[in-house]
Amino acid sequence: MAVSLPRLVLLGLLAAAMFSTNFVLNRAISLGGGDWVWSAALRYFDTALLLGGWLLLRRGPKYLRAVFAQLWRKRYFWLLGGGIGYGLFYACLCFAADHAPAWITAATFQLTILASPFVLRAFGKKVPVQGVAFLLLIFLGVIVINAQRILAGIPLGQVLLGVLPTAIAAFAYPFGNQLISEAKHAGDDNARILGDPITCVFLMTLGALPVFLGLILVTMPPPPSTHQLINTAIIAVFAGCLATSLFLYARNLSNDPYRIAAVDATQAGEVGFALLGEMAVLGTPYLGVLSWLGLGAVMGGLLGFTLWRRV
C-alpha cells in the first residue's frame, strides 16, 4: 500500500526539525572558538559509535558482522556515497558555519531543493514541471532571505564563504541519498540490507570517515574543547542518528520521483526551525518584513509542492 504524500512530508518535516540542530549548534561552536574540522569529524565519529552500538544491541553481533562484510564487499560504493553524501556535505556545512549565522546557512542550504530534481534527472528520473515550479518559489524565498542580509551590510567575502560551501553541500547531500535509493530498489544484494534505514546511515557514516580523517591529518586542528565535544555529541544524536534515519526512511518509502523530491523539499523547514533555534539559543535579532516574506515564500512553496495534486 502506497504511503500518502502528506504523511511523507510530515515525516520529512520532523526530520528537518531535528536536523536544524546542525546549524544552530555548529554556529554556537564557531562563536565559541571551536574548529570547523572537529565539528564535522566528531559528529560522524559519535554517530558511528552510537549506531554501531544500537545495531549490536538490537540485532546482535552476527548482524553487525554481516553489515561490515557488506561494507567490505561494496566498499567503493559506500566510500563514494558516504564520502560525498555525508563527508563532503557536512564538511562544507561546518566550514560555512564559521562565516554565516545558522539561519543563513540553513536558508542557503535550501538550494538542495533545486539540486534534488537535477540529481534525479542525472539518475534517469523525471520530475513533473508543476513540482519544479513550486521548488522555484521556495528558491525565490531563499534569495529574498539572503538579499535582506546583504542589504543589511554583510561583507561580500563573508557571504561567499558562507554561500559557496553550502551550495556544494546542497548538491552532495541528495546525490548520496539517491545512491542509497537506487541501490535499495535495484534488487541486488545491497537491497536486502538497505531495508533498515539505521543500517543505511551507519554504512554511509563509515564510508564518510576517511574524509574526516583526511581533513584532520591535513589541517591539524587544535584539540576540541569540552563545549565542542558536548555540542557535537548532541548533534550526533539528533541530526546524525534520529533525523537522518527518519529522513532516509521517508525518502525510501517510495521510488516515485515526485514523492522523493517532495521529501527532499521538506528540508525547507530547516530554515524556520534554525531561525527559531538561533533566536532562542544565540539571541539572533528578530527579522525584518522582507525576511519574513522570504520565509513565507519558502513555506508556501513547500505547501504548494505537497498539495497541488490529489494523493
At residue 130 the predicted structure's pLDDT band, cuts being 50, 70 and 90, is: low
pLDDT in tens, 256-297: 777 777 787 777 778 788 888 888 888 766 677 888 888 788
Only one residue has cell 557488506, namely 70
Mean pLDDT of 70-92: 92
Higher pLDDT, residue 184 or 51:
51
Can you give the pTM of this predicted structure?
0.84
Q: If you write DSSP's letter for every residue of the chain in order, what string do you get?
A: -PPPHHHHHHHHHHHHHHHTHHHHHHHHHHHTT--HHHHHHHHHHHHHHHHHHHHHHHH-HHHHHHHHHHHHHTHHHHHHHHIIIIIIHHHHHHHHHTTS-HHHHHHHHTHHHHHHHHHHHHTT----HHHHHHHHHHHHHHHHHHHHHHHTT--HHHHHHHHHHHHHHHHHHHHHHHHHHHHHTT-SHHHHHTTSHHHHHHHHHHHHHHHHHHHHHHH-PPPPPHHHHHHHHHHIIIIIIIIHHHHHHHHTT---HHHHHHHHHGGGHHHHHHHHHHHHHH-PPPP-HHHHHHHHHHHHHHHHHHHSS--
- pLDDT at 299 (0 to 100): 75
Domain count, the chain: 1
| Boundaries of domain holding 208 | 5-307
Compute the distance between CA of residue 83 and CA of residue 91 in angstroms, rounded to an integer: 10
Q: What percent of the chain has pLDDT over 90?
A: 35
Task: Pick the range with the lowest mean pLDDT from 48-57, 204-213, 295-304.
Answer: 295-304
Compute the distance between CA of residue 282 and CA of residue 285 in angstroms, rounded to an integer: 9
